[in-house]
Amino acid sequence: MPHADQIQQAPPDITVGFSCTAEERDSLLKVRAGAQAIHPELVEAGKVRKLSAYKRFWNLDTKQQFREQLVETLVAEWRTTHGPEKAETARLLFVRLTSELDQRGAVIFGSLIDNEAFRGLVDEYTRINNSLGSQSWIHSYINLGNHLDFLGNPAFSGAFLHPLLVAMVSCQIGGPLRIVDARGKDAEPISVLAQDNMLHIDNTPFNDEYKVILTWERGQASGPKGQNFVIIPGTHQGLRNCFVNEQGEAWSTENASVFTSDQKIEQAFDIQSKVFGHPSAAVVEIKHENKPLTTVFASGSLVHHRYRTEGGRPRSCLTVCFRGVDNPGQFVDTKHLGDIVEDHALNRFLFGFHDKNSGADFIAAFADRADEIFEKLKDLSLQWNGAEIVDQRTRELSGPELETWKALCTRAPTVETLKARENLFKVDECLALPQFMDLIEKLMIFDKHGPLDLILYEDSHEEIRKWARNQIREMKFDSLKKRLATWSHLVYQPAREDALAPLALKVLAEEVAGYALRSMQGDEKAVLGESEKISARDAYRSLWQLLLDLGEAILRCETNQDFLSTSLFIFWAVDTLDILQQHAHKAVQAAGVKLLANYIATTILVEMQRNAK
């Protein structure tokens, strides 16, 4: 029989609360939230504080020359293969499509590939999502950058990566392109005002960015009939105004890109009215009873969102994001490119490395694909195999539909509201440690989808943080549960003193960021998931940038939920770094203990205040 001091004692129960007067509670929360709100300011070019920060206005003559050379190259190939008359017909249709994209900010296609090929896409996408999708309460996310065999599959990639689509975007940007992101998302019917689906412009105000989004009814080779993609045509011709710091550098934040009130939405309609030359409130809901829809749109400037409602059917979508090569780089590490670029010059440019000097070679790559573009233009002209150019005006919301849409855009329940409805705990209730950890998991499931307002820099150097951010926001529940369990032996009775001040959190984030930087500079190995295609260096750089920017954001949280979500992200960023570094640094782990305790204590303070109200 073991000696008494050898018997492992059960961890003590935890009281979900602590001693704190109402005045102390409100004082603590006041310094954590209540920062001056940042709102979108959608204006014409002449009213922007620093026009030179916006890449769409750079090198306009050079961009026009590129457009002309690209069209001339395609037409020359078409003349050789199909004769001058058919070449001119194809040219006119191509110009019509690029003109619509230029004037309205989007072009919608139905059934770009035939039904049998699309069925293959659905089956393969479903297989990947079922296996590796995030499966959260708000959506199921897949990083398709880890699935190059899917992105480059010639049997169905024409639905989202057809050379016609790439040529249209290249003409708009006025130069060679590269892919910077590719993702999939499944969405069930739900009404929620979350960062993922707010009416917005993508968080890249200074870049010229376009996306291709493919939408369909989940599991079916048919059109989307719920949770549909929505655009406000013409708004891409406005600009989100920026701020300018004392050094003359332009900057913005993510909150300056979301439109969540009637007044903010009116900004979009005001720009639209100026573009169209008459009072306008045109909102296009992209749906189709039968056909999967491929939409090319100006994601970095067009007001848009995924219209989440409690009605309709579940929807699947995938998006591929394109930018010019003003900032050289590549989407996929060279060692992973493999067959996707073999004997395929255009894919080599889209997935691999190239820079602003690659314009002539990029155009030459289209010569090899000119006949594919010609055939697809012919399909669209004759509507063969169901292919069509969808008239946006037939998808505009009517008066009552428009009012319903506007109400959901501005008054749908927030993540904070949905979390509160669950009544997950009562202040001062007593829980055994396992039950307490279960509670923290449930709170985190909501809070990791709460609002963040990260800074956006003129030179876009924040872009690298996207990988680390998605590692947290799109963490699967079973992964969150497993990772949080590794901290359970370090969880103790919450206390008021655990709630760290914003500046203390910023300092912690910066200290841990220093460990990520040293790992990056030392080319240290990283423990990455089996499917990850990111290099160790870029993974460390992503975490370094995210931690720095979370530290900046924690100082200017507008609401309690902003502060909770930002605090939580700092904790999970530290945990992610600890995993990458194989738990090599005690200082990183010590920071994690403080950050987890801070999140728990702040959650209790917020609940205390909510109960008082």
d(CA 270, CA 279): 8
What are the pLDDT digits (tens) for 16-70? 999 999 999 999 999 999 999 999 999 999 999 999 999 999 999 999 999 999 9
Q: How confident is the model at residue 516 (pLDDT cuts 50, 70, 90)?
A: very high
3-state SS, one letter per residue, for 302-317 = CCEEECCCCCCCCEEE
Note whether 57 and 173 are within 8 A (CB): no
* Other residues' Cβ atoms within 10 Å of the Cβ of residue 430: 12
Q: Label residues 379-407 b or e (16+ Cβ within 10 Å = b).
A: bbeeeeebbbbbebeebebeeeeeeebbe
d(CA 117, CA 124): 11
- Alpha-carbon span 42 to 60, nearest angstrom: 22
- Residue of 452, 598, 596, 587 whose CA lies nearest to 512: 587
**Helix or strand or coil: residue 329?**
strand
Residue 495 has a CB neighbour count (10 Å cut-off) of 14
- In the DSSP assignment, the letter for residue 413 is P
R_g of the chain computed on alpha carbons: 25
| Angle, CA of 443, 448 and 454, to the nearest 5° | 140
Q: Strands across the sheet with 250-253, in order?
A: 243-244, 250-253, 455-457
For the stretch 27-37, pLDDT in tens is: 999 999 999 99
Q: What is the pLDDT of residue 333?
A: 77
The DSSP secondary-structure symbol of 456 reads: E
Give the model's pLDDT for residue 341: 63
Q: What is the pLDDT of residue 10?
A: 55
Segment 493-514 mean pLDDT: 98
Predicted local confidence at residue 12, as pLDDT: 80
**Which amino acid is located at 492 in the chain?**
Y
Compute the distance between CA of residue 454 and CA of residue 554 in angstroms, rounded to an integer: 9
* CA distance linking residue 107 with residue 402, whole number of Å: 21
209-217/293-297 β-pairing: antiparallel
Check whether 564 has a pLDDT greater than 50.
yes
Residue 270, beta-bridge partner list: none
pLDDT at residue number 434 = 96
Give me the pLDDT at residue 361, please: 93
Residues 6+ apart with CB under 8 A from 571: 592, 595, 596, 598, 599
Place of tokens 């855009």: 409
Q: What pLDDT score was predicted for residue 343? A: 63
Cα separation, 460 vs 208, whole angstroms: 11
Q: Where do the H-state alpha helices sit in 339-486?
A: 345-351, 359-367, 370-382, 399-411, 415-421, 433-447, 466-473, 477-485
| 454-462 average pLDDT score | 96
Residues whose CB falls within 8 Å of the CB of residue 345, separated by 6 or more in sequence, listed in order: 361, 364, 365, 368
Helix pair angle (22-30, 586-612), 10° resolution: 120
- Report d(CA 98, CA 170) in Å as an integer: 10
Residue 613's pLDDT is 81
- Residue 392 tokens read as 């946006």
Residue corresponding to tokens 């209540």: 34
| pLDDT for 338 | 74
Note the pLDDT of residue 356: 77
Distance CA 431, CA 439 (A): 9
Residue 4 has pLDDT above 90, yes or no: no
Tell me what percent of the residues of the chain surpass a pLDDT of 90.
91
The full 3-state SS of 97-129, as one line of letters, equals HHHHHHHHCEEEEECCCCHHHHHHHHHHHHHHH
Using pLDDT thresholds of 50, 70 and 90, give the confidence band for residue 345: confident
Q: Tokens 């690029």 map to which residue? A: 98
Lookup: tokens for 506: 């910023």
CA triple 76-77-79, angle to 5 deg: 65
Average pLDDT over residues 217-236: 97
| Alpha carbon separation from 480 to 442, 450, 471, 477, 484 (Å, rounded) | 10, 16, 11, 5, 6
Neighbours of 12 (CB within 10 A): 11
Q: Kind and range of the H or E element at 430?
A: strand 430-431
Give me the chain's average pLDDT, please. Answer: 95
Residue 113 CB contacts under 8 Å (≥ 6 apart), including other chains: 121, 156, 158, 159
Residues 89-140: tens digit of each pLDDT: 999 999 999 999 999 999 999 999 999 999 999 999 999 999 999 999 999 9
CA-CA distance, 530 to 534, in Å (whole number)? 11
Determine the pLDDT at residue 354: 81
Instruction: Inform me whether the pLDDT recorded for 574 exceeds 60.
Output: yes
Q: What is the mean pLDDT of residues 165-192?
A: 96
Residue 443 CB-density burial (10 A; 0-12 exposed, 13-18 middle, 19+ buried):
buried
Q: What angle do CA 105, 458, 70 make, to 5 degrees?
A: 45
Q: What share of the chain is helix, strand, coil (3-state, %, to 5)?
A: 55, 15, 35
Residue listed under structure tokens 């919608």 = 108
CA 92 to chain centre: 35
Q: Is the pLDDT of residue 5 over 80?
A: no
Closest CA to 512 of 483, 469, 551, 538: 551
Sheet holding 106-110, edge to edge: 140-143, 177-187, 315-324, 209-217, 293-297, 106-110, 388-390
**Phi/psi class of residue 264: alpha, beta or left (left: φ > 0; alpha: ψ in -120 to 50)?**
alpha
